[in-house]
Structure 1
């Protein structure tokens, strides 16, 4: 494998210079992401299919166990790990911009090379955050509805529409939204930054969070759009994830590429 095939061997050192989000940067990212998806669709389709099948397995297990409330937690928790699921599409877009091969083998080799770098640490943090969200969500449910008679989500809607149920949904939505915004801020530039440059994961997280806080309004718009598109993609039996997840993954790289100097 040559140096050109393994750009992780000679990545630029340290943080790039960040600039303000240019006008229309979200629309540009979506268009460029769609072009990348069409140019190299195989890895993106594999990513979307993996997320879709994982969702089906979770759905089957919760229905089998009779604890369909966990589906609500999964739906609201998925945006926490969606950037991690789409990580390979970042690499595909980076390779397209750098003129490198985009075949599945080359992408997998590049991602495998990350095992000895900083990306796994941030990945583990995202997984821990998702598990903590499930724990916290279950605590909130037990606090408000633990003593309520309930069979499952579809046959117990009256429980959710009670005073305790509405309070539980309000608190859970607020806590889940805060979690999602925090980890969006950490990952929106942090993940592509770790792929593109030689920098430790704490520095990448703080730089990403600082940028998201500085440019709160435009970055919040991107976060809301991601959440809305992912939610819509999950409605038709998760089938929309097959296209929407990789599309957003490619677009996320182009968000980074527009604000970071020397992104490629």
Structure 2
């Protein structure tokens, strides 16, 4: 794993290491455990101040969630849940790019435009596509692990609760480990690739280091994201109209407050 780069006592004229350097780890700041609530408040403020952009991306997320819910109900089986989530993982990051761009434009004192936010898909698209493929591969791997764990599921219908304990314990443990890894790699990767156009490896190393260095705050942040997704799916996708834009805007502010800038000591 590449080591985190720290500023060395060089002369004042020396320049920061360029973002074009491959597979490095950009330093992060130390966060308080309450920081995620501040990000959420900033995200909500962006949501209120950019209603058109919020509505557009909220509808996109809502349509995707409704499609998953309807597919599960139509098939009548939970086996389509994971494949559907893979599709959601594929389109979600690209929709979130538009939200990051809108917050970025507003942060720089510009008037955020919907068309401009949609063009964010073209910014560093090679690294972004590679990262999305990585997420999809991780989800497929997760599906295979889940299929193997079904061997622990009781084969007798109406089995007592005690026979479900091994399946529930192992499944929960494996799911938490895989979810933690995916979250660590994805927490700050896409906004970093969009703004500073770094390569995918630099983005995931930086994101992993930031999460590892701020575990308490990241647990709270992951819980807030999970809560937003749960509300969205529990309301048959309608909740996504609000929760996903707010979380998308908040993620941009989380990135801005966590990853150090080029000239930050």
Shift of 1:206: 0.9
Question: What's 2:227 paired with?
Answer: 228
SS of match in other structure, 2:219: helix
User: How many residues get paired?
Assistant: 240
Question: What's 2:37 paired with?
Answer: 27
| Separation in 1, partners of 2:83, 2:173 | 16
Question: What's 1:50 paired with?
Answer: 60
| Separation in 2, partners of 1:93, 1:133 | 32
Change (3 A) 1:23 1:185: closer
Shift of 1:37: 1.3
**TM-score, normalised relative to structure 2:** 0.78
Matched, 1:109 2:108: no
Question: What's 2:152 paired with?
Answer: 144
Change (3 A) 1:137 1:235: same
Shift of 1:120: 1.2
**Which digits, 9 at most, give the CA deviation of each residue in 1:137-193, with x for residues without a partner?**
23322x1338455xxxxxxxx56x733434323322222221211111111121211
Change (3 A) 1:236 1:63: closer
Report if the CA contact (8 A) 2:154-2:163 is conserved: no
Change (3 A) 1:237 1:83: closer
Question: What's 2:11 paired with?
Answer: none
Question: What's 1:133 paired with?
Answer: 142
| Separation in 2, partners of 1:147, 1:213 | 40
Question: What's 1:120 paired with?
Answer: 129
| Separation in 2, partners of 1:189, 1:44 | 21
Question: What's 1:8 paired with?
Answer: none
Change (3 A) 1:66 1:169: same
| Separation in 2, partners of 1:261, 1:78 | 32
Question: What's 2:183 paired with?
Answer: 184
SS of match in other structure, 2:30: coil
| Separation in 1, partners of 2:90, 2:252 | 16
Shift of 1:207: 1.3
Report if the CA contact (8 A) 2:65-2:232 is conserved: no
Question: What's 1:261 paired with?
Answer: 260
Change (3 A) 1:82 1:232: farther
Shift of 1:69: 4.6
Structure 1: gaps spanning 5 or more residues: 1-11, 150-157
| Separation in 2, partners of 1:239, 1:233 | 6
Q: Given the alignment, which residue of 94, 97, 113 partners 1:87?
A: 97
**TM-score, normalised relative to structure 1:** 0.78
Report if the CA contact (8 A) 1:20-1:215 is conserved: yes
Question: What's 2:50 paired with?
Answer: 40
Matched, 1:210 2:209: yes
**Which digits, 9 at most, give the CA deviation of each residue in 1:5-62, with x for residues without a partner?**
xxxxxxx735654221257422221111111111223333333322332233233333
Bigger shift: residues 37-46 or 212-221: 37-46
Report if the CA contact (8 A) 2:188-2:207 is conserved: yes
